[in-house]
């Protein structure tokens, strides 16, 4: 059964009503991309570790959001508004940035764990993510 949403005398299906929302989200991402082009280097370097672990972060976010929102997890999806769901997504992303910074920073790994497995599978080697070698310090 197809439900109809009516606003100001105009009828639309939920799918058609979602198109403006999708366009606004796309415009928000484009705005963020333009903003980051002009952002100070400190902003970009803050998020850079998350960008160096794309496969790990993609799968982590998929599992985390599924566990929080879907029926096989906490099933919060039907109880949250769009804005609350967006806040949950931003919180998960913030956790990803923090974990990425810890993994590539203090733990001194070169890449994410799943990127290392992908590389090992691709090259048929069994190298795991090793710590980055310490750079020799020169006295000034």
Q: How far apart are CA 119 and CA 131, in angstroms?
A: 16
Percent of the chain with pLDDT over 90: 32
Residues 70, 47, 97, 69, Cα dihedral to 10°: -10
Q: Name the pTM for this structure.
A: 0.64
Q: Longest Cα pair distance anywhere in the chain, in angstroms? A: 75
Instruction: Give kind and range of the element (H or E) at residue 11.
Output: strand 10-12
- Please state the domain extents for the chain: 1-38, 41-123
- What is the predicted pLDDT for the residue at 127? 57
Which tokens belong to 75? 């099933």
Quick check: 72 pLDDT over 60?
Answer: yes
Region of residue 8 (left: phi > 0; alpha: psi -120 to 50; beta: else) = left
More confident residue, 35 or 11: 35
């Amino acid at each position: 059964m197809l439900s109809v949403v009516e606003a100001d005398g105009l009828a639309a299906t939920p799918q058609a009503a979602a198109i403006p929302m999708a366009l606004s989200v796309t415009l928000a991402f484009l705005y963020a991309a333009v903003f980051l082009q002009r952002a100070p280097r400190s902003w970009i370097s803050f998020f850079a570790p998350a960008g160096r672990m794309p496969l790990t972060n993609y799968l982590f976010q998929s599992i985390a959001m599924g566990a929080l929102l879907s029926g096989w997890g906490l099933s919060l999806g039907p109880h949250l508004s769009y804005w609350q769901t967006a806040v949950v997504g931003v919180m998960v992303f913030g956790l990803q940035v923090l974990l990425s910074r810890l993994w590539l920073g203090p733990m001194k790994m070169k890449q994410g764990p799943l990127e290392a497995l992908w590389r090992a599978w691709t090259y048929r080697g069994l190298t795991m993510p090793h710590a980055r070698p310490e750079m020799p310090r020169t006295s000034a």
